[in-house]
Chains A and B, each alone.
Chain A
Amino acid sequence: MAKTKVLLSGNEAIAQGAIQAGCTFYAGYPITPQNELIAYMAKYLPASGAVKGQAARVFIQAESELAAINMVYGASAAGARAMTSSSSPGISLKQEGISYLAGSQLPAVIVNIMRGGPGLGNIAPAQSDYFQATRGGGHGDYHVIVLAPASAQEAYDLTQSGFDLADKYRTPVMILGDGVLGQMMEPVKLSSRKIKTPPVKSWALCGCAGRKPNIAKSFFLREGALEEFNLKLQKNYQIIQQKEQRFEGLFLSDAKVILVAYGTMARIAKSAISQLRNAGKQVGLIRPISLWPFPERAFQIKNNRVKYLVLELSYGQMLQDVRLAVNGRQQVEFLGRSGGGILSQEQIIDKVKKIL
């Protein structure tokens, strides 16, 4: 498939990105709107090219999201690049496992194609799992790196970065998208490079021939041991916060109003911006790509008269991170919908005109 462009849904692009990244283990459980992802993995993962140093590429339809995330725990502990995917209710079930991955410093990629909540909610696109994703999600003092693609191409690319970051920092990484991203078909330029060879992991469980036993665990019973470990995690998180902030900025040099939006919401924001710009309005965009670490750097804008307008398919979740980043220097406004309704260009334009 060298250098070809193919038409893929966001879900399929994530799956193909994982295959390209050398993922050799996938376990998942069906849930809308991410079913294309598990189906793609079932069809293509076992048959994809071999990965150096790995026995085979394994697909398992697990009996539940709990089983899937814990299979990923085992596969990751065994040294494989491992992934699972789901949508909101299923991600809630995985949270205990994600906490165990973080506590055991095991890399893994977890995909959440968000749907409406709380509860069974609906299957419409949503961004309402932002808090859950960026605050750790499960129990304990931890974070996962959260990457939010806004197109199928970016989903393909970020999934690959996700595996690299997971291995580099020994942490779970979440790819956070919504139902529109997951299901919309778009052309994706596939990598012409060979399938990646994952790094050798000296800590992996593979039999203790010629070395002391390796143990995968998150349990620290000795007095002071957990605090020591948590401080080590915090150090890792500080490095991640320094080095891995990602965002896209548009028209930031002259903007009087800066829209802040991620994923699908950012694409609608872009359309609104081009209309507003055509009408001579100085509007810009900050699109966070890493949601954790939140790209605070993007908000170091000197002009105190700049106003931010945070746009979400949720009720003021990312808003809190923007307020923290802006730290009272400038005015922060909010516009959001949640529960299936998608903010339209017109709604955005109306709001911008009121603020300007």
Chain B
Amino acid sequence: MEKIFKRGESLYDVATHYCPGCGHGIAHRLVAEAVDSLGIREKTIGVAPVGCAVVAYDYWNFDCSEAAHGRALAVATGIKRVHPEKVVFTYQGDGDLAAIGTNETIHAANRGENLSVVFINNAVYGMTGGQLAPTTLLGQKTATSIEGRTKKAHGYPLKISEMLALLPGVCYIERVSLENPQEVLKAKRAIKQAFENQINNLGFSLVEVLSPCPTYWGLSPKESLDWIKLVMRKEFPLGRIK
């Protein structure tokens, strides 16, 4: 029988440590597939976040660095400036990129660092037990917004992608979703685009991925996908932002 689908070289054949229905595993695979389809595995350097994806390098078969919580884009800046001909990307959660690391995010984007960013928006802090994230929706219950997020107590969900789109150093921003296979394919194309932009020296590219966290949404994996489609996308509309 002919094999028409197989694991690419950039993804290790290892058991997942993520919860059932988690989006991180899919996003890892999409990154690996984008790297393989561009034939850049041997010149790619990834920067893993602190968050549930802290050991992303246990899944990827290319050079990787850790970064302190929120500092991935500073670390990536250092790597890319030393190796301008390599392809350098960060993979970060919403707490990492849009709370503790907001400063590094905005300034790397504003310098127009020639980097690619995969931004996993799961509307919670997964790693630390499902607390309020900058992207948590109004009304959404978390470990630290027990009655649900309110404008008064917690402010609004932060649309960091739209904010970054204002910066001239940013060349490409797209919001995608992992809610169904069609959207996953779009997400894959967007991630590949972000890498291609870097290869073509176009500047800062970011793909925001709406990603399920069934564990801290208190939903089943299937319900989580529906929640992205029916609820999360209203606050975070899909498509090209820049």
Contacts and interface: CB of A to CB of B under 8 A. Distances in A.
Interface of A: 24-25, 27, 54-56, 58, 60, 62-64, 66-68, 70-80, 82, 96-97, 100, 104, 205-210, 213-219, 221
Given A67-B71, A97-B68, A217-B66, A207 B44 contact: yes
Interface in B73-119: 74-86, 103-104, 106-107
A78 B83 contact: yes
Interface string B8-40: 000000000000000000000000000000000
B62 A213 contact: yes
Interface of B: 41-45, 47, 54-55, 57, 60-68, 71, 74-86, 103-104, 106-107
Counting from the closest, the 4 A-B pairs by CB-CB distance are A74-B78, A70-B74, A75-B78, A74-B75
A73 B103 CA distance: 17
A73 B82 CA distance: 11
B63 to A, nearest CB: 4
Given A25-B82, A209-B42, A219-B54, 16 more contacts: A25-B78, A55-B82, A66-B74, A66-B104, A70-B75, A72-B78, A74-B82, A77-B65, A78-B78, A78-B79, A78-B83, A80-B82, A82-B78, A213-B63, A215-B57, A217-B66
Nearest to B48: A217
A215 B61 CA distance: 10
Contacts of A54: 82
Which has the most chain A C-beta neighbours within 10 Å: B54, B67, B75, B76? B75
Contact of B71 (A25, A76, A97, A215): A97
Nearest to B86: A207
A70 B82 contact: no
Given A55-B84, A219-B66, A77 B75 contact: yes
15 contacts: A60-B81, A62-B74, A62-B107, A66-B74, A71-B81, A73-B78, A74-B75, A77-B65, A79-B82, A80-B78, A205-B64, A205-B83, A207-B62, A208-B63, A215-B66
A70 B71 contact: yes
A75 B104 contact: no
B68 A74 contact: no
A70 B55 contact: no
B74 A75 contact: no
B76 to A, nearest CB: 6
A60 B79 contact: no
